[in-house]
């Protein structure tokens, strides 16, 4: 893996309004909010910035996150994540994404959950 | 609807590699390629630029398109589109998207297909 010290910063967007189909009434206990809280406690690398967003509009396949980072990287949307099992997956995926110049982590190096739960990818503005 | 003459340009990205689950061998006959070709013949408004992309990674729900347009607009991914029935839907949705400053077309004004087949939305960089 290349030296990442001068990489363009990455945003890890987490949909905090996601209910993951559950009848949750307390907004702070929504699965999306819990996922965001768990990631805020996790060891994300420098240069990966966690950001809460309201509704990524992928409600049927939540929880969802987005990885994006500057005009040269592809943006990725990942789905079917949860706050208890998938924190390590997201940290690993975000770390590897951050280490790329174009956002494309080689297929075999991606976490298995990311391989199987990509909702969409969007080309970089610079492409 | 507001005067759109000075709106930031919009990109309409079409995944041209989409097979929509069909056993198509000729790349030029892939549903995604046909969708792109049909949109190239359609009456898109000035300021909406059609662009072919390879794989939006939403293969199970194809065909797929993306609408994006500058740092102030939300990006939207729409799915389950086809080249015969949905050209008018895409033109209508793209036209209304282009007329917004932030990419958010009021819910009731969105084409019904767009309401029911949004794969994801991604916040603007300027948010």
pLDDT tens digits along B72-114: 999 999 999 999 999 999 999 999 999 999 999 999 999 999 9
Number of domains in chain B: 1
Please give the distance of CA B98 from its chain centroid, rounded to a whole number.
11
pTM of the model: 0.93
* Residue A127 is assigned to a structural domain of this protein: no
C-alpha A89/C-alpha A92 separation (Å) is 5
What pLDDT is recorded for position A127? 61
* Residue B51 is assigned to a structural domain of this protein: yes
* Residue B127 is assigned to a structural domain of this protein: no
Cβ contacts of residue B96 below 8 Å, gap of 6+?
B1, B105, B109, B110
Domain that holds residue B70: 4-122
Which ipTM value was assigned to this complex? 0.91
Mutate to test the interface with B, among A74, A77, A110 (most CBs of B within 10 A): A77
β A48-53/A10-15 pair status: parallel
pLDDT tens digits along B12-63: 999 999 999 888 889 889 999 999 999 999 999 999 999 999 999 998 899 9
What pLDDT is recorded for position B7? 79
Give me the residue from A56, A118, A123 closest to B122, CB to CB.
Answer: A56
* Residue A104 is assigned to a structural domain of this protein: yes
Are the Cβ atoms of A120 and B121 closer than 8 angstroms? no
* Residue B74 is assigned to a structural domain of this protein: yes
Are the Cβ atoms of A77 and B76 closer than 8 angstroms? no
What CATH number is associated with residue A44? 3.40.30.10
**pLDDT truncated to tens, each residue of chain A (127 aa)?**
455 456 799 999 999 999 998 888 898 899 999 999 999 999 999 999 999 999 999 988 999 999 999 999 999 999 999 999 999 999 999 999 999 999 999 999 999 999 999 999 999 986 6
- E strand or H helix that includes residue A55: none
Which chain A residues are closer than 8 Å to B127 by Cβ?
53
């Amino acid at each position: 893996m290349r030296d990442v010290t001068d990489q363009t910063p990455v945003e890890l967007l987490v949909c905090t309004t996601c209910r993951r189909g559950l009848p949750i009434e307390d907004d702070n206990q929504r699965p999306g909010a819990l996922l965001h809280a768990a990631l805020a406690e996790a060891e994300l690398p420098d240069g990966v910035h966690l950001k809460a967003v309201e509704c990524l509009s992928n409600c049927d396949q939540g929880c969802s996150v987005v990885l994006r980072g500057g005009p040269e990287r592809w943006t990725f949307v990942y789905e079917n994540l949860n706050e208890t099992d998938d924190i390590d997956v997201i940290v690993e995926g975000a770390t590897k994404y951050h280490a790329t110049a174009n956002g494309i982590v080689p297929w075999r190096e991606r976490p298995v959950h990311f391989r199987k739960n990509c909702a969409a990818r969007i080309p970089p503005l610079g492409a």
